[in-house]
A and B are shown apart, each in its own frame.
Chain A
Amino acid sequence: KAGVTQTPRYLIKTRGQQVTLSCSPISGHRSVSWYQQTPGQGLQFLFEYFSETQRNKGNFPGRFSGRQFSNSRSEMNVSTLELGDSALYLCASRGVGLGVYNEQFFGPGTRLTVL
C-alpha cells in the first residue's frame, strides 16, 4: 500500500496570503488528522475529518480551516498568513470502524515558510 502523501512538500508565502495544503490518505483510511509542528515543539492538533465531516477541532484561530472529499483526500487552508504560521504541517490517516485502536500513519509533511 502507498503511504500517506502530502503536496506540496515545500511552500514559501508572504504575510497576508493564503495557502492550501493537500493530503492523500492510505487507501481505505477514512480518518485524516492535521497537525502543526514548530521547531522544538510537539505536534499541535488542528482538526480531524472522517467521512467528510469534521469530528474534532484543536485550539487554532478560524484562519485555519479544512475539508475532506468523498475519496477521503483532505485539504487544509490557512488564510491571512502570519509569520508565526511558519511550520511543518503533518497529516495522518487512520482506518476506523472495526479497529478503534488502529495505528495513525503520518505523511512526510509540508514545510510552510511565511516571509
Chain B
Amino acid sequence: GENVEQHPSTLSVQEGDSAVIKCTYSDSASNYFPWYKQELGKRPQLIIDIRSNVGEKKDQRIAVTLNKTAKHFSLHITETQPEDSAVYFCAASVRDTNAGKSTFGDGTTLTVKP
C-alpha cells in the first residue's frame, strides 16, 4: 500500500522567515496531494492541494511543489506569522470518479516565534 513520509516532525522559525515541509510517497498511482493545517483542538482543514499533472501551485504565502519522478512534494510558507503555528499534514491520494483513499504523513508541528 501507499506509504507517506513527512519531515521534519517539528519545525521552529522566527516570524517572517520561511518554512519548508517535505513529503515522499511510494505509490505511483497517487494523483492528488493535499496539505492540511490542524490547529490545537480543531479539525484538519485543507490549505492547498496539487494534482499529479501540475508541478507547482501558489496561493498567497503558501506554495506546493511536486516532483512525480522522485515521488516527493513540498509545502513552502513564506513570511511566516504566529497564526501559522499548527500541525501540518501532507497526504497522497488515489482519486477516481467515485472513490479516493488518502494516506497521510505523520505531521509537522510548526512553531512561529514572534
Binding site for B on A (CB under 8 A): 31, 33, 35, 41-45, 48, 50-51, 55-56, 58-59, 90, 94, 96-97, 100-101, 103-109
- Known contacts A42-B107, A101-B95; 6 additional CB pairs below 8 A are A31-B99, A43-B89, A45-B102, A51-B98, A56-B101, A108-B43
- The 9 closest A-B CB pairs, nearest first, are A55-B99, A56-B101, A42-B106, A106-B43, A42-B104, A43-B104, A100-B95, A106-B44, A42-B107
**B94, chain A: closest CB distance, angstroms:** 9
Count of CB-CB pairs between chains A and B under 8 Å: 71
B60, CB-defined interface residue at 8 Å: no
For the complex formed, measure the closest distance between the CB of B102 and the CB atoms of chain A, giving whole angstroms. 6
Assess the B106–A56 pair: CB atoms within 8 A.
Answer: no
A45 to chain B, nearest CB (A): 6
Which residues of chain A are near B103, meaning CB under 8 Å?
45
Please give the distance in Å from B35's CB to the nearest CB on chain A: 12
Q: Which residues of B contact A (CB under 8 A)?
A: 1, 6, 32, 34, 42-46, 49, 51, 89, 91, 95-107
Given A50-B99, A59-B1, A104-B102, also A42-B43 (CB < 8 A): no
The binding surface of chain B is classed by DSSP as strand
- 18 sample A-B contacts, Cβ–Cβ < 8 Å, listed by A number: A31-B99, A31-B100, A41-B107, A43-B89, A43-B91, A45-B101, A45-B103, A45-B104, A50-B98, A56-B100, A97-B98, A100-B95, A100-B96, A100-B97, A101-B51, A103-B34, A104-B46, A105-B46
A51 to chain B, nearest CB (A): 7
CB of A20 to closest CB in B, whole Å: 21
When the two chains form their complex, are residues A109 and B98 in contact, meaning their CB atoms are under 8 A apart? no
Contact A104 B34, beta carbon cutoff 8 Å:
yes
Which A residues are CB-close (under 8 A) to B43?
A: 90, 106-109
Within the complex, what minimum Cβ distance (angstroms) separates A80 from chain B?
Answer: 25
B102 near A33 with CB under 8 A, answer yes
Query: Within the assembled complex, what's the spacing in Å between the Cα atoms of A107 and B43?
Result: 7
Q: What's the Cα separation between A90 and B102 when bound, in Å? A: 13
